Structure formats: structure tokens, C-alpha cells
Structure 1
Amino acid sequence: MVCESVFRSEDVPAADRFDYWRELMIQTIAPLELTSDHADDFRASMHLLELGAVHVWPTALQSLRFRRTPRLIRQSDPERLHMSFVVRGTVGIVVQPGQEAIHGPGDLCVVDSSQPFDCHAINGRGPMEGVGVAVPKEMLALAGDGVNKLLGHRISGREGLGALLAQFLTSVTTDTGSFQASDGPRLGTIVIDLMSALFAHELHADNALTPETRGRTLTLRIRSFIQQHLADPRLTPRAVAAAHHISLSHLHRLFKEQDLTVAAWIRHQRLERARRDLTDPALCHHTICQIATHWGFTRAADFTRAFRTHYGMPPRDYRHKALGTQDETHR
């Protein structure tokens, strides 16, 4: 598993919880001034993942204000960019006097540990929820004056590269058990690539990205596109290449370092989705043919052959073993 730690304010007495959380924020982000209307019995939790030099943490907390002042910057500066993906509640950020941006669910926001900021995390109905990311500035393709234009501004996490980053953060923080310790730095590299690509897109500075970052980001976009269109039987490598305005040979080169070809990866993803549905009790009234067709298999015989080859038994037997149901022909 990747290196991870879980923190809960409930692990300490009520009178000590806010101070406990303040110290945790100082260690995770940077020295901050924290205030809250709930300081007498503060409730918060954090799941910290260390992905190489990148730190990612889903968190839930009561309404809170945290400030990074010039005095605190002089005291200590880890020189990191911090991005937050808002899941529930709102975050108001002031990076310059008189200029406040409000971020709601689905938004991304960025602050710099080297510059002052004033944030209010608020949710009137339950805890504020989000995912935080901390990245050393020198590891990003874009930093300095360019990224300064994005500090505090609202960036959409519902479309394009913002959605791809938000989806990856959500996935990596909800499925940690499937990762090995050696996966941490690789996952951190993906976060850095996605953040760099998102900043370059927002600043219209794609030329600032390295060829490696562009290639890895394009591969992630293609994988996301494939997963969103698995049900379309017309999804082929040629269709994928056309949708991304690249040649078929370019597409194959992007997947060359993978264990599977593009076509094989599409088939594998379809089989996994079909396998998941076959073992879902809520879908037991759907026939095997219906499930196969839903995931882009136009010929039942092709699906059965591919499923048996991949999982070692026909889909009917696999379903029977998973659900304990009778053979479909006798139900």
C-alpha cells in the first residue's frame, strides 16, 4: 500500500481537538492562523497519502478560517503550491485585498505557500469536504509569474483537464488498497503532470510543457475517453485516434509502453465492466446477452469466448458462482 495516515480530531479530548488540528495543518501545509466558531469541540478528519514528493489528503471538517500571513511566510516557507478540490460546501479565498473568489462543489482552487492568503471553508449543513494537494513548486512545469495569475481564481473541475484531475484525485483517494508502496511516486508524477497540463491550459501556455508531460497527459485523457465510451460498439482504436486529432500510429506509440495494445485495453475494460455487472445482485434480472451488449459486445459468441479466455470460465458459470443463482435457463 502507498504511505498513508489517518487523523481524526475525535482521537483526542474535546478541549484539545482544535489545537491538535492546528498542529496537523502546520505540519501538512505550512504555518497558519486558524480560527473557528467550533473551536470548543472541533470535528475534522483527514486521510493523508504520500505519493513521493506529492501529498494528497481528502478531508472533512467543520467551518474554519485559515490565514497565511507575511509574518508566517518569513517564519517558514515549504515553497509548495496547494490545490483544493471542493466536494461539499464553499471556500472563499482572498489573495489580494478586495478580491475574493467563491469556490463551490466541483471547483478547484490554488494558493501558494510563499504568498499571503485568507481562506474561509464553510458548510452550513454538515462538514466541509474536499481533497487537498501539495506539490513542490520546482516540480511543476509552470510556476512563478504564470501560476500567480491563477492563485485564488476558480478553476472548473467539471470539464476538460480539470475534470480529469478531479476524477483522478477522487479515484486515488478512494481505492488506496489496490496500490503498492512502489506506486506512490508514479501516482505523484501523474498528479504533477495533470496539474501542469491544467495550468498550461488555463494560461494558454501549452508550449511550456515537456514532451513527456504532454504525452502522459494525452494518454490519461485517452484512457478517460475510452472508459466513458465503452458502451459504444463503434469505439475502435481508429475512432479514439480521430476523437483526439492524432494519427493511429501516434495512438499506438502512446500505448507502446503498456502491457496491452489499444484494442486489447478497450476489450479488457469492457470485460471488467461486464464482469462487475454479472456479479451485481441488483442486475440479476438482466440477461448475459443484455449485459454484453450494453458494454459494446455486438456478438454473444465473441463475448463468451473473450470472457472464458480472460477469467477461465464462461460468463454463465462465473455469474452462477458469484451469485449462487440457478442456471439462467432454469430460473
Structure 2
Amino acid sequence: MGAYDTCDVLPHDRYDYWASAVAQAFAKLDVKLDGHKDINCRIFWSEIGRSRIMFVSGTPQIVCRTSATIAADHAENIILMFQKRGSATLLHHGKSVDLAPGSIVAMDTRSPYRLTFFNDFEQQILRFPACALGAGALDLAARTAIRLAPSFASKLLLAGFSVARNAEAALQGDLEGPLLDLACLTLSAHLPPAGSSAPGGRLEQARNYIRANLNSPDLCPQKVAFELGISLRLLQKAFALADDQPSAYIANARLSEVGKALNDPALEHHTIWHIAQAWGFNDPSYFARSFRKRYGMTPRDWRKISGHKGPGSLN
């Protein structure tokens, strides 16, 4: 638990005190307040594993994440913000969004942003590492600086803030997984529904996405989960119902396509490695080991039994 309250310091020290507090709680930021007005701001937070829930209130101000502040601390966090009171405008990723009570918005500390509060405000915030979203976090520009649609997940997330804040310290770390699941669903709330949210529906969606993107070397369970708008844990649970794992399904689907391609007369002039790369493999040693485990022989021997005389090496 941490706390900063400008009422704890003398009035002439509050400007610098608050600027330091914001940097400690969020990331390195430039803070601009009207020094001629009473500065009445506070932050309370709880550490939840690698994440942090925060309760923030304050007087009118501007906070900026600039190229200089990004270079100064390299913080790589997502800030999911629930506006409880007051109005503000966020400029981020070339977009502008106005915030009012009830608004939900996300920010990425890896990119510059400017947040202007026009009057007294109050917020509840979840700050978590961008890496918690996996490879899909690279696509967050589409999900930041827009008003996210309120959803059942966002309501549960807000309720979870209070639970986490009042939980015993020893139990708070156990709450991070469920909170991140809800954060991921909240971030995806503005996207068109991709089908059933039942585990069986998720599994079919995941399999369809994987089959459509097998040739991408960046395909991984984290990216699949993010593109489907679910957490990695929920994706793993969906595959577990079929006694499978996302990573194993991706590898086996790729190996199946490579096996068929090596038996295709139209591809006999392509090297084995060229075919493997075309189906998303980027490590020759891993490919060779995986192929032998799946088919019980080397890719070269597999190609030979088809009767084709194409290039037999991986090169």
C-alpha cells in the first residue's frame, strides 16, 4: 500500500511533491498545475503482483508523457482508467477522446500522451505490464485513446478493485490473474463480438485463427489470446477441455502442412527449409526435432518416401 496526499506538505511544496508522486505511481511524466490555486491531490495504491490498482483525485492539471520522459524511465505499462468524477481530454496515438464520469480509456506508457483535467476529478486505475498481454500488446494503438464500452467485465473489474484494496497483503498477489483477465476483456469490449464466449466457442475461434495465420512466424498463444479478446489463461483453459495446449496445436498444425507440402509434386523443387519457413517455422533445429518427433523420421526421409527428388537438405 502506498499513498501521497498534498495535504501532508506545506502549500509552497505541493507542486513539486505532486509531480514526484505522479512519477512514482504511474511513470515519468511532466505535470503542469496552476500554482496560484490550491493544489489538493492524492493517490492511494495497492500492489497486486506486478500490477497496481490506484485511486486518484485532484484539482485541474495537465500530465504529459513525452519522448523525453519515455527515454528517462522506459516504463512499459498499460494504464486502464475509469473516470469517476470530472472531465478531461486525452490525446494519444494521434487520437483525441473526451472523458466524462463513467468513461473508460486505456493508455500505453510506451507512447507519448497528453491528459488534460479541466476541473476537480476522481479516477480508479489499473496499471499493469504491457507484456502481460503477450505479443498482441504491439497492436494496442487500436485500443487506446477511445472510450471503451462499459461491460460486465468492466463492472467486475471495478468491484475487484475494492476487493484487492481490502485484501490481506498475502492474498493480493493471487488476485492479479483474475484482474488481468477482466482487463483484457474490458480492452476488447469495443470490438465486434467474435462468436460464442463459451469455452467450446473460444476453442473453435482459436483454431480458426491459428489455421488462418499459420504462415506468420509471430503466431503464438499470446497473440491468439489477444486477437480473440481473452486472456492467455482463458485460452489455455479452452484447449485443456480438448486435452490440448495452444502451443502444441500451433506446432502440430504447421507440421501437418509441411508434411503435405513435402509430398506435393508441385513443390519438389523447393528446399525443405523454404517450405518450413512458408509455414511459420523460424528455427531449423527446432523444426527438424519437431518433425522427427511427429513423423518418426527426418523431413528428408519423409520426402523420399513420396518418390519426389526435390532438394533434401534443410538449406
Structure 1 segment 41-120 matched on structure 2, within 5 A? 41-97=38-94, 99-120=95-116
Are positions 1:167 and 2:155 aligned together?
no
Which secondary structure state, in structure 1, belongs to the residue aligned with residue 98 of structure 2?
strand
Q: 1:200, CA displacement in angstroms?
A: 3.7
Which secondary structure state, in structure 2, belongs to the residue aligned with residue 120 of structure 1?
strand
Indicate if the aligned counterparts of 1:37 and 1:64 stay in contact, CA closer than 8 A: yes
The verdict on how the C-alpha distance between 1:136 and 1:102 changes in structure 2, with shifts beyond 3 A counting, is same
1:212 to 233, 239, 251: 233
Structure 1 segment 149-160 matched on structure 2, within 5 A? 149-157=142-150, 159-160=151-152
TM-score of the superposed pair, with normalisation by structure 2: 0.59
TM-score of the superposed pair, with normalisation by structure 1: 0.57
The verdict on how the C-alpha distance between 1:138 and 1:160 changes in structure 2, with shifts beyond 3 A counting, is same
Distance across 2 between alignment mates of 1:15 and 1:136? 35
Unaligned runs of 5+ in 2: 195-201, 207-224, 242-315
Indicate if the aligned counterparts of 1:142 and 1:196 stay in contact, CA closer than 8 A: no
Distance across 2 between alignment mates of 1:156 and 1:187? 24
CA offsets, 1:166-198, max 9 Å, x none? 33224544xx1xx22121111222221111122
Alignment root-mean-square deviation, CA = 2.5
Distance across 2 between alignment mates of 1:151 and 1:139? 16
Structure exhibiting the larger radius of gyration computed from Cα positions: 2
Structure 1 counterpart of 2:161, one-letter code: L
Structure 2 counterpart of 1:199, one-letter code: L
Runs of at least 4 residues of structure 1 off by over 6 A?
Answer: none
Which secondary structure state, in structure 2, belongs to the residue aligned with residue 27 of structure 1?
helix
Distance across 1 between alignment mates of 2:76 and 2:87? 25
The verdict on how the C-alpha distance between 1:39 and 1:73 changes in structure 2, with shifts beyond 3 A counting, is farther
The verdict on how the C-alpha distance between 1:38 and 1:189 changes in structure 2, with shifts beyond 3 A counting, is farther
Unaligned runs of 5+ in 1: 219-249, 251-331
Are positions 1:132 and 2:112 aligned together?
no
Q: 1:104, CA displacement in angstroms?
A: 1.2
Q: 1:143, CA displacement in angstroms?
A: 3.7
> What's the counterpart of residue 35 of structure 1?
32
Distance across 2 between alignment mates of 1:107 and 1:214? 28
1:187 to 175, 185, 209: 175
